[in-house]
Every structure is written in C-alpha cells, then in structure tokens.
C-alpha cells in the first residue's frame, strides 16, 4: 500500500478511536446537562434564513446596483430589485472560492447556524438577472464563466470582542463552572466559532488576533476580525481561508489554533454529535460533495472537488476536537 494511503487509513482509524473514546466518556458521565458537564444544550438564539430559502429568493430577483463593500479587491455589495442586498465574493484564485463554499458546507454539516446563507451564480450580463448592471460588471471585471458567491448582507451588526474569560487564552479558560442559564448560549457560540475555525484551519479570526499579539499586546481587547453580532447571535463571515489556503499554511498558525481550542472546555452538544457522525461515516467526501451540489450543481464544473489529501487533514482535525472534548471531560 502506498505510504500516502497508509497515512490516510491511519488518520481514519485514529478518528474512529476518538469517536469511541468520546462516546465512552459521555456515557460515563451520565445525563449530559449544561450544569454538570462540558456539553451545552442551549438552543440557537438567532437563526438566519436557510440556504434553500435564500437561493430561491435570489433566483427571482434582478440586480439593480453594484457598489464597493464586503471586503477588498473585486468583492462588492449587490442590491436587488426588492431592496435586499448580498455580499458578492469574487476571486480569481479558485482556492479561495473553494474555501468559502466548502467551509460553509462544513459549518452546515456541523449544524452551526452562524454562517450567513450562501448561493452561487454566474454574473452573465446576457442573463436578465444581471443585464441592468452591465456597466458595473464590466468595470469590476467579473467574468461570466467564473462563479460569484452571494451571501446574505446582514444589516445593523455590531463589532464584537472576546469574552473576558477567553482573553487569557489559557487551557480551560472557559470551563463548565462558568456556564450559567444567562450565558450558556453565548458561550456555545464562541465554542462553535473556535471549533469551526480549528476544523477548517481558518486563521482569519481569533487566530489572527493571537498571531498579531506579538506586535500589538492589546489586540485581544479589540474587535475580532470577520466576526459580528446581531440580536445576540455571532455571525461568522468571510470564511474563504478555510480548508484549502488555511491547510497549506497550518505550520505557521497551528500553535495558535491549538491555543484557542485548548482555551475552551464547553461545547454545544449538537456540534460534537455532528462531528462524531462525520467521523463515523465511511464516505465523508461523498457527503461533502453532495452538500456542495445542493448549493449549485454547477460548482463542481467550475471548481475542483475536495481532494483526498485535504480530506485527510479534515479527518485529523475532526478527531483532534473529539480528543480535546475527552480531555476536558476528564478534568
């Protein structure tokens, strides 16, 4: 057996052992409650529109205005004829487009509801949906044969800083003893965010702050990059660095990923259950590609599929999260 496939098999076996160990740990603790365990069962306090609803809505709309916003370079804010807006993300680099789409899929598979709904399209000025903004499309140089990602533009958001308990970023900074009925949902969202970024290797949020501490010692008191809040819910936006670009530079940021993961010892039960289910499946690549096709059946025509090599890293990081949950359960 070639060495690469031996390593992939070893990663899968390790992941399955982590699943079994985590399940055994949970069974040994008896009933899982926010008061007595590392698991938080609080419901999501805020739910964004479903992806399907967002896609159906967009299919009926026509773009009437394109303006600067939603990041740098060729990203823009698109206004449609009903007044609704979308963040349009366009990159010549296919890895960043892959990152945004596949990170979104991982978030949905983990049942994390903090990512804005996402759709894809082709900005073809011959199409009635885009014909009214032909001049703007030509000016921004969107090509009709390259995918455009449209995420819901969320208004009236606020910047957000790390909770005080997390600012030390020491192992177990947030533990079961810190959970109260009043803060359980908020802590569950911060836990979800750290776990999500760890799994996909996204360095452009809390990990970015940790990395930049060497130049700015007060950065953890500042707002977190690519994170906002609305009506008590955190919003994880701009996830293009996930999986593909993020995995390529893991060596540079891995210690910050580990530091942020180790800082939390409370977890949303549904998130950990979803990680367990993914590791127990024997066809995670098929599951991911199926979810990608639900977004838009054309995506795999214009962007590469997730590779076996990337999937190996994904499996390892999913397993690492379960191993961390087990460690916290034994504290």
pLDDT at 270: 92
Same-domain check for residues 217 and 249: yes
pLDDT at 189: 95
CA atoms within 13 A on the CB side of 93: 11
Same-domain check for residues 36 and 58: no
Query: Structural domain of residue 294, as residue ranges?
Result: 3-46+157-329
Among 180, 179, 190, which residue's Cα sits nearest to residue 232?
Answer: 190
Counting the structural domains of the chain, the total is 2
pLDDT at 44: 59
Asked if residues 279 and 318 have their Cβ atoms less than 8 Å apart, the reply is: yes
Low-confidence ranges of the chain (pLDDT < 50): 1-12, 14, 18-19, 21-36, 45-46, 48
Same-domain check for residues 37 and 15: yes
Same-domain check for residues 126 and 212: no
Same-domain check for residues 290 and 324: yes
Q: How far is CA 104 from CA 10, 86, 278, 292, 296, in A?
A: 27, 16, 15, 9, 13
Asked which of 124, 152, 180 is the last residue of a domain, the reply is: 152
Overall pTM > 0.75: yes
Same-domain check for residues 124 and 148: yes
Same-domain check for residues 290 and 170: yes
pLDDT at 94: 87
Same-domain check for residues 253 and 239: yes
Same-domain check for residues 42 and 56: no
CA–CA distance, 128 with 149 (Å, rounded to integer): 18
Render pLDDT for 141-198 as a digit per residue (tens, 0 to 9): 999 999 999 999 999 999 999 999 999 999 999 999 999 989 999 999 999 999 999 9
CA–CA distance, 283 with 323 (Å, rounded to integer): 21
Asked which of 109, 133, 152 is the last residue of a domain, the reply is: 152
Same-domain check for residues 178 and 296: yes
Same-domain check for residues 14 and 140: no
pLDDT at 49: 54
Asked which of 104, 132, 152 is the last residue of a domain, the reply is: 152
Q: Is 164 exposed, middle or buried (0-12, 13-18, 19+ CB in 10 A)?
A: exposed
Same-domain check for residues 196 and 82: no
Q: Alpha helix (H) ranges present in 156-249?
A: 184-200, 206-212, 244-248
């Amino acid at each position: 057996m070639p060495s690469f496939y031996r390593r992939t098999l070893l990663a899968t076996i390790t992941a399955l052992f982590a699943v079994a160990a985590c399940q055994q740990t949970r069974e040994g603790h008896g009933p899982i409650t926010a008061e007595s365990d590392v698991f938080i069962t609080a419901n999501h306090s805020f739910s964004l529109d479903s992806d399907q609803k967002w896609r159906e809505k967009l299919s009926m709309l026509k773009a009437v205005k394109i303006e600067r916003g939603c990041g740098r370079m060729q990203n823009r804010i698109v206004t449609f004829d009903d007044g609704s807006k979308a963040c349009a993300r366009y990159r010549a680099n296919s890895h960043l487009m892959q990152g945004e789409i596949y990170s979104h899929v991982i978030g949905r598979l983990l049942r994390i509801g903090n990512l804005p709904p996402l759709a894809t399209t082709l900005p073809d000025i011959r199409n009635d949906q885009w014909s009214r903004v032909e001049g703007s499309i030509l000016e921004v140089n969107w090509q009709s044969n390259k995918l455009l990602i449209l995420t819901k533009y969320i208004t009236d958001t606020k910047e957000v800083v790390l909770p005080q308990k997390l600012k030390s970023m020491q192992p177990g900074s947030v533990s079961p003893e810190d959970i109260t009925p009043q803060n359980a949902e908020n802590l569950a969202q911060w836990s979800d965010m750290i776990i999500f970024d760890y799994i996909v290797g996204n360095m452009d949020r809390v990990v970015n702050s940790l990395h930049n501490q060497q130049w700015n010692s007060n950065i953890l008191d500042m707002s977190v990059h690519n994170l906002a809040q609305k009506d008590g819910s955190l919003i994880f936006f701009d996830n293009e660095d996930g999986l593909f670009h993020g995995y390529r530079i893991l060596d540079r940021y891995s210690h910050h990923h580990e530091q942020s993961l180790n800082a939390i010892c409370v977890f949303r039960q549904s998130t950990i259950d979803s990680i367990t289910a993914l590791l127990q499946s024997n066809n995670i690549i098929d599951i991911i590609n199926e979810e990608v096709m639900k977004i838009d059946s054309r995506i795999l025509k214009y962007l590469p599929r997730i590779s076996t090599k990337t999937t190996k890293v994904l499996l390892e990081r999913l397993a690492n999260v379960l191993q961390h949950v087990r460690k916290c359960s034994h504290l």
